[in-house]
């Protein structure tokens, strides 16, 4: 039953990471056409109907933002977040610019960050339901209806104004975050997608443990009532279980044990802000 629960929720989890980071060099020989999010030293563009060639990315501009310069902290945030372009622009206070609808040409030499949109939810659904028939498929649907309203990607951990997400390390000496889990077989290509999806989810859930613990301390610093403090601490404990389950599923699909790396940022705090 636990396996059915896990697989039945995978399609929604896939939606947590649809903008995939890419290295420009990896795309030069590809024939990919679709949606890109491109960040240079002074602007960011969301491109539709985009294509790549040996020297540049060409596409229709559907959104564009400008900024004086790409700061080091902004670059670090961009390399770790899985947010949508719009959410990233809001987080970094980028200024929206006109000239949408125009064809943009961005040389690879100018690209600082590149993300490619992948509608992973469809691939995940195919991988899940392709391995099941009859009553098993029905059970998955029922399980999904029960679980989906309560599923999330965890509370973001913010440190000095930026989001922090846990790194992953091979579990040479498992610390208890990963447990053996048997899952129904799926095609190799789908298995790789599922491993990536659940790894991202596991990283977010693990960082959320620190986020809720930090929230509990901030509430105490502000003199919050005990019920709020208790809820924040209960949420942190729930995120521990979420992270363990996600790491177990990610490890099963990856074919090797994965566990969270140390998260020293959990000890870095901000000054509690009452209005926030």
Residue 151 pLDDT exceeds 60: no
User: 77-81, 119-123, 176-180 — which is least confidently predicted?
Assistant: 119-123
Residue 200 pLDDT exceeds 80: yes
> Which is higher by pLDDT, 180 or 95?
95
Q: How many other CB atoms sit within 10 Å of the CB of residue 213?
A: 18
Residue 133 pLDDT exceeds 50: no
User: 12-16, 33-37, 54-58 — which is least confidently predicted?
Assistant: 12-16
CB 186 within 8 A of CB 206: no
Please report the pLDDT score of residue 245 as a whole number. Answer: 92
How many Å apart are CA 88 and CA 82, to the nearest integer?
A: 9
> Residue 75's pLDDT band (boundaries 50, 70, 90)?
confident
User: 38-47, 112-121, 244-253 — which is least confidently predicted?
Assistant: 112-121
Q: Single out the residue of 193, 52, 210 nearest to residue 116, CA to CA.
A: 52
To the question of pTM greater than 0.75 for the whole model, the response is no
The radius of gyration of the chain from alpha carbons, rounded to an integer in Å, stands at 20
Question: Can you say whether the dihedral through the CA atoms of 82, 86, 89, 92 is positive or negative?
Answer: negative
Find where tokens 């949508």 sit: 84
How many Å apart are CA 213 and CA 235, to the nearest integer?
A: 8
CB 216 within 8 A of CB 271: no
> Which is higher by pLDDT, 5 or 19?
19
Find where tokens 């564009």 sit: 64
**Range among 11-25, 46-60, 171-185 with highest mean pLDDT value:** 46-60
Please report the pLDDT score of residue 148 as a whole number. Answer: 38
User: 28-37, 76-85, 110-119, 175-184 — which is least confidently predicted?
Assistant: 28-37
> Which is higher by pLDDT, 30 or 172?
172
How many Å apart are CA 101 and CA 59, to the nearest integer?
A: 10
Please report the pLDDT score of residue 150 as a whole number. Answer: 40
Please report the pLDDT score of residue 7 as a whole number. Answer: 46
């Amino acid at each position: 039953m636990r396996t059915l629960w896990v697989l039945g929720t995978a399609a929604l989890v896939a939606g947590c990471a649809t903008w995939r980071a890419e290295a420009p060099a990896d795309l030069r020989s590809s024939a990919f056409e679709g949606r890109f999010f491109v960040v240079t030293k002074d602007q960011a563009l969301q491109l539709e109907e985009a294509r790549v060639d040996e020297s540049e990315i060409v596409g229709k501009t559907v959104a564009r933002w400008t900024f004086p310069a790409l700061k080091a902290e902004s670059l670090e945030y961009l390399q770790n977040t899985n947010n949508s372009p719009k959410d990233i622009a809001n987080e970094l206070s980028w200024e929206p610019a006109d000239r949408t609808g125009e064809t943009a040409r961005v040389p690879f030499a100018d690209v600082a960050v590149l993300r490619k949109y992948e509608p992973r939810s469809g691939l995940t659904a195919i991988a899940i339901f392709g391995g099941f028939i009859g009553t098993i498929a029905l059970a998955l649907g029922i399980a999904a209806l029960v679980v989906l309203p309560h599923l999330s990607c965890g509370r973001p951990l913010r440190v000095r104004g930026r989001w922090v997400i846990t790194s992953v390390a091979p579990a040479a000496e498992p610390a208890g975050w990963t447990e053996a889990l048997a899952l129904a077989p799926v095609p190799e290509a789908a298995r790789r997608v599922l491993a990536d999806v659940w790894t991202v989810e596991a990283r977010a859930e693990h960082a959320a443990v620190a986020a809720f613990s930090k929230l509990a301390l901030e509430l105490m610093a502000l003199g919050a009532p005990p019920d709020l403090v208790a809820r924040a601490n209960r949420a942190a404990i729930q995120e521990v279980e979420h992270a363990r389950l996600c790491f177990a599923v990610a490890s099963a699909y990856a074919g090797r044990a994965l566990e969270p790396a140390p998260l020293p940022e959990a000890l870095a705090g901000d000054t509690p802000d009452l209005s926030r």
